[in-house]
Amino acid sequence: MDKKLELLKIFSIGLREVLGKLDIEYDKLQEIRLRVNEPLIVIYDNKEYFVNNNGDLIFDYEKALIVKLKDVRETLEFISNYSLYAYEDEIRQGFITIQGGHRIGIAGKVILENGKIKSVKYISFINIRLSHQIIGCADIILPFLIKQASVLHTLIISPPRCGKTTILRDIIRFISNGFDGFKGLTVGVVDERSEIGACYLGTPQNDLGIRTDVLDCCPKSEGMIMLLRSMSPAVIAVDEIGGRDDIEAIEYVINCGCKLIATVHGNSIDDIKSKPILRRLVEERIFERYVVMNNKGRIGNVESIFDSQGNQLYMNKV
């Protein structure tokens, strides 16, 4: 299905009409934000715009289209495929992944039960983050992640919205398919938030390569161990590590001889060292490569690559 049509079908009729008039390149559309009684906002080509009734991108919020409660309610019904109950677990985590791999963040009134989040009611804020595969975006860094036909334990460090998942996805695809004399390896992906493979009904919507197995919506720590036991991967890939359980699972994976590629929120190796849980991983030199990213110039911009000793192997001058 056409990317534009695929996206438009999740909106209420009113919003569909306006967004359908947008004269933009959908590949550059990053986010669409709906807030009840607030202007419709889109993030396009790294810039924030408001949208008016004629479907023009404008900077003046007073002329922007105001999103109504009805729009949010209807949009939610289409996003959830008329089945909000089927996304209970995802709603508890604050997001839903839909066909095409787009991630829908939601916020509203949180319902607690025994001190834990049970559900979210009166959802009034929706953030649609569009999934864009950038095939080949990892080709510059790949030679640094491979040594003697083997993949090195790699940690990708990046602030939010800089494309770490995009680059991780491309690395997975390259390793799985093989490239330039490198024979493809079996890759196991633990996709806790359905961002990497963007699985819809269990099938990845993004191309993760021919030798990739995906555990969708599975907690990382449990998923890594499950994959090791069940699918015997040569490489395991996970997104956004950070919990204590994750670290224990990472150590287990590494001790089993399996290679690991992970991402983490941060700005630099020092930033990672300042986080109590992650510090040990750096100090014990568990990772053999650190890829530091930023969004200067473009999404997915690799700033530098370091080895386990902290020696810089690559630096992007952009």
Partner 1 sequence: MIKVTGALVIIFSCTYIGINISNKYRQRVKELLEIKRIVGIMLGEIRYSLTPIPNIFQIMIDKTDGVFKKYFIVMDAEVSDYSGLALKDIWNNNLKILKDNTCLNSNDIELFSMLGNNLGFLDKQMQIDTINLYIEQLSDQIIESKAALKDKTRLFSSLGVLGGILIVIVLI
Q: Give the separation between CA 232 and CA 204, rounded to whole angstroms.
A: 20
> Which of 3, 21, 88, 135 lies at the binding interface for partner 1 (CB under 8 A)?
88
| Site membership for partner 1, residue 93 (CB under 8 A) | no
Residue 265 in the binding site for partner 1 (CB under 8 A): no
Between 71 and 240, whose beta carbon lies closer to partner 1?
71
**Residues 23, 62, 83, 276: which binds partner 1 (CB under 8 A)?**
83
Q: Is 78 a binder of partner 1 (CB under 8 A)?
A: yes
The length of the chain in residues reads 318
Residue number, 17 or 139, with CB nearest to partner 1: 17
> Would you count residue 74 as binding partner 1 (CB under 8 A)?
yes
* Interface mask toward partner 1 for 94-123; x: CB under 8 A: -------------------------x----
Q: Does 218 bind partner 1 (CB under 8 A)?
A: no
Interface of this chain with partner 1, residues 229 to 248, rule: CB under 8 A:
none
Per the listing, tokens 């909000």 go with 84
Q: Which of 84, 107, 146, 217 binds partner 1 (CB under 8 A)?
A: 84
**Residue 271, interface with partner 1 (CB under 8 A)?**
no
- Contact (Cβ atoms closer than 8 angstroms) between residue 146 and residue 313: no
Identify the sign of the CA torsion 206, 211, 217, 219.
Answer: negative
State which residue, 84 or 226, has the beta carbon closest to partner 1. Answer: 84
Q: Give the binding site for partner 1 (CB under 8 A).
A: 9-10, 12-13, 16, 74, 77-78, 80-86, 88, 119, 201
